[in-house]
Structure 1
Amino acid sequence: MTRILCIDDEPAILRLLEVVLGRGGHAVTGARDARSALAAIGRAAFDAILLDLGLPDRDGLELLGTLKATCNAPVIVVSARSDVAEKVAALDLGASDYVTKPFEGDELLARVRVAIRSNGHAQGRSEAIEHGPLRMDLGMHTLHVEGREVTLTPKEFSVMRELIAAGGRVLTHGALLETVWGKAHRDDVEYLRVVIRSLRLKIENDPSAPLHIRNEPGIGYRLAAHG
């Protein structure tokens, strides 16, 4: 059974998370502040961490940085804060995903599954990475979509590699640009948009209604969740 640490100062939210995650077969440990959360990860290993940003004893983004530095578990922010800048800051600090309250239970479970699976891929060192019907062989430099091989340019391959490796979590425009084009092009969002448009033409049945590569408006891109 997977173990999830839920950090939220509202007892009602912790109870809700315990019910929702329990339905998905996860064991839940609750923490109502940063101090309790850090004590919990000092006692046990967790497969994922759900983090609210509004904590009574420490800034949530500051705690996120500490969590990423001290454990390998993916961190999903679950917060009522919907400001784009807040989301970008959390994702740039290493959050695997950002879920805005109120949330749908089934969607949250799907995002938890994706984060855990993605973390397993990241720690695994396989030459092949997969996400739903997408399979990329890093050694052969190939991409298959539902078994169909797709020819990619080097930049398309690099962007797709980052998206698949992320396993469904959001990658910000800046993070993708810096990784694929370099730091000097971190603000050249049009470069990325051109490649995303080209990728959609190649892998989507209907590029105008993409099923694989999803926009997070003002933030970046993610691959659709596959439970």
Structure 2
Amino acid sequence: MLAACRVGLEALGHQVRTVETGQAGLADAAVHAPDVIVLDLGLPDFDGIDVCTRIRTWTDRPIIILSADSSEDRKVDALDNGADDYMTKPFGMRELDARLRVALRHHAADAGHPTELVAGPLTLDLVHYQATYDGRPLDLTPKEFDILAYLARHVGKVCTRRMILEHVWGPAYANEQHYLKVYAYRIRKKLHDETGRFLQNDPSVGYRLTVEPAPTAC
């Protein structure tokens, strides 16, 4: 798997460094500061989530998780502990390439402090608390605006319910998941997105804004 990923990504134009253990990965990432980290959870020495958590203490570089475990708990655990994306094996190399490019774009955008967020048809004016969708004004409540702003900052990435609740309402509301269901329904109504094509619900994990077509696997 490691060799296949390296060959595949290099063929797509990426410069790739590979290591086989969590300990080696921590050391290599600290020394070489890669633009993005692809982390397989199936490591021989550490739990991959622990490696992700340790990396996140000293860098904000994007981390993409690879795992054969598609369980909800594992995905939520990885995302809550600093991962930017989670890919379940098997996957196509073109999909991994697309996820890498998205992660790099988002990281570059996050490096500044914009006063406006744009996610496809959605534009959010962070100074005046105004929003438009497909050019028409949106009448959003403060909480609706904050939810969309948080998701727009992480466009394309699944944000867990806990992450959204803690950011918008505060840590005391981390388990009040029914709040998000109600607000997501209201936001979709205002966007005329009742089918959830733009504001997507990743079942039992969280929400994301999707502005690009899903990549096609090899």
1:219 and 2:200 aligned:
no
What is the TM-score normalised by the length of structure 2? 0.89
* The one of 144, 161, 168 aligned to 1:180: 168
Q: Determine the C-alpha separation between the residues in 1 that align with 2:97 and 2:211.
A: 10
Query: Which position in structure 2 is the counterpart of 1:9?
Result: none
* The one of 166, 191, 200 aligned to 2:179: 191
* SS in structure 2 at match of 1:99: strand
Q: Determine the C-alpha separation between the residues in 2 that align with 1:225 and 1:23.
A: 27
Q: 1:131, 1:226 within 8 Å by CA — same for their partners in 2?
A: no
The verdict on how the C-alpha distance between 1:30 and 1:132 changes in structure 2, with shifts beyond 3 A counting, is: farther
Higher relative contact order (CA 8 A, sep 6+): 2
Letter in structure 2 aligned against 1:43: V
* SS in structure 2 at match of 1:29: coil
Percent identity (aligned): 38
Letter in structure 1 aligned against 2:141: T
Q: 1:20, 1:109 within 8 Å by CA — same for their partners in 2?
A: no
CA-CA distance at 1:157 after TM superposition: 0.2
CA-CA distance at 1:216 after TM superposition: 1.1
How big is each residue's C-alpha offset from its partner over 1:60-116, in whole Å with a ceiling of 9 and x where there is no partner?
111011111122211111111111111111111111111111113333223222222
**How many matched pairs?**
213
Q: After alignment, is 58-67 or 134-143 more displaced?
A: 134-143
Letter in structure 2 aligned against 1:53: L
> Structure 2: which 5+ runs fail to align?
214-218
The verdict on how the C-alpha distance between 1:70 and 1:29 changes in structure 2, with shifts beyond 3 A counting, is: same
Letter in structure 2 aligned against 1:223: L
CA-CA distance at 1:23 after TM superposition: 4.9
Query: Which position in structure 2 is the counterpart of 1:7?
Result: none
Q: Determine the C-alpha separation between the residues in 2 that align with 1:24 and 1:225.
A: 23
Q: Determine the C-alpha separation between the residues in 2 that align with 1:24 and 1:195.
A: 40
1:169 and 2:157 aligned:
yes
> Structure 1: which 5+ runs fail to align?
1-12
* The one of 136, 139, 143 aligned to 2:131: 143
Q: After alignment, is 30-39 or 92-101 more displaced?
A: 30-39
CA-CA distance at 1:24 after TM superposition: 4.3
Q: Determine the C-alpha separation between the residues in 2 that align with 1:203 and 1:22.
A: 40
Q: 1:115, 1:167 within 8 Å by CA — same for their partners in 2?
A: no
* SS in structure 1 at match of 2:111: helix
What is the TM-score normalised by the length of structure 1? 0.86
Q: Determine the C-alpha separation between the residues in 1 that align with 2:150 and 2:125.
A: 13
Q: Superposition pairs for residues 3-152 of structure 1, below 5 Å? A: 13-152=1-140
Q: Determine the C-alpha separation between the residues in 2 that align with 1:25 and 1:153.
A: 44
Q: 1:51, 1:78 within 8 Å by CA — same for their partners in 2?
A: yes
CA-CA distance at 1:150 after TM superposition: 1.8
Q: Determine the C-alpha separation between the residues in 1 that align with 2:117 and 2:6.
A: 31
Letter in structure 2 aligned against 1:172: T
Q: After alignment, is 213-222 or 139-148 more displaced?
A: 139-148
